Structure 1
């Protein structure tokens, strides 16, 4: 999703984007969706921790990271990895997660004896898979990785539950599309940048209408209510609030909130107004809200 003030950067040398997963995974697909019209190279990482380590080692890299899913909820570990890093959010992308059943060309569903994928993907397609008891469900590390292994090893009788992009990338034949039980399965991704280049990647102030903030609160009655009242006074829409316990401080919590607004200046006034009521308030990023779910 390229906002109008990002179009001028198209045509530069390829952007390098760190992703969690192998080529063809949903992070890969989301990166190509967000940077549609631009040339990108993806850097594959086995874990989100490895992704943040890679970003920290090279300030010229960008990252894309899933932060929440409409079925699975928030990815709590990723909230903490983001907070512990110095990365800034410069954009977001929402993508529908639609699974396919893919196998080697020439295979039919009746010939399949095993279906491989990430355990979450298998769970999301359980109703479809249970209608085909000849296929034994085998959990693997990655959806796209399963497709890659079947293609590279020529595994007949095997199928992968993966995205259409992965199936096409590895030359598999799609036997069934949209096999997930819940069709309203969307994941929200964050685009991350080092502070040294964040200013180049985030939209200009006139396009900024969303931010992500983290803070702690004193252990006082009504502390959170006071913050929410101030945000409401400044016409700030709280689109998400996620609390997480603070290790070593019993019954104290850290709050991650997403804010949407029509006026950037009123948003900044609201942040200044709530700051004295909070501890360790940090703006994780200011960006343009993704309006369309793909």
Structure 2
């Protein structure tokens, strides 16, 4: 009996979930069906791939070796499927976007994409950076819009635009804070509102302020910028607002005011990433240009409305 791609995908699901029930739910099969496929795989390889425990399973040494090979095989299959799609008339692109970019950039870029190529089938996944990088590595998405360091192993990164941070809060709170608050390192940690852990924007805000999360006492675990801006507009604190979000969040929170930080203004670099091993094609360069154009439009509006 030969191994199948289905067995490899079931194997990886079980290796990641470490539980037969969760793995079966993830790949949309019954638990007995998944168990049977894993047993057949072990018989084919003449190896025990998992240690079975009452509440979880763990990879054996042989299982870890199979995991490395299975990931490479499925990544190659994904690349083959992507290449086949690119030769067809309708090209599907699976794009991941971080949550502090997606609600603002996508409404601007989608009309550009439609005008450029109405046959392109764009599927968007919104998730935090670590989830997107993992999905990119596994071949589950073709590209990702992230705010990342200059280099990430195994990825090709194309800079799109620089997104500066604004200080947002109720007018009375910003005025009371004075010009000293326009230096990030001088911000009062008692008044700083942050996104939940896992959002790179929160980490970037803490970094430019020279703080750690324990110092930010108004860490409310918010999962969206809209929530933070609503709280800030009510006078519950101040937060970092990216320029691309300024127009939308300012309209959604009438009590919200913004100030521009002193020079040098803190900023994040928005990038488009793909796997370095994947073959470059026109869609990636086209997508990068359109994302950059949309980003420059949004940041330009913010810079015109909120001068230094």
Would you call these one fold, judging by a TM-score over 0.5? no
Q: Which has the larger radius of gyration?
A: 2
Shorter-chain TM range is 0.3 to 0.5
TM superposition score normalised by structure 2: 0.38
Q: Which has the higher contact order (CA 8 A, sep 6+)?
A: 1
TM superposition score normalised by structure 1: 0.40
Select the structure that is richer in strand. 1
Select the structure that is richer in helix. 2
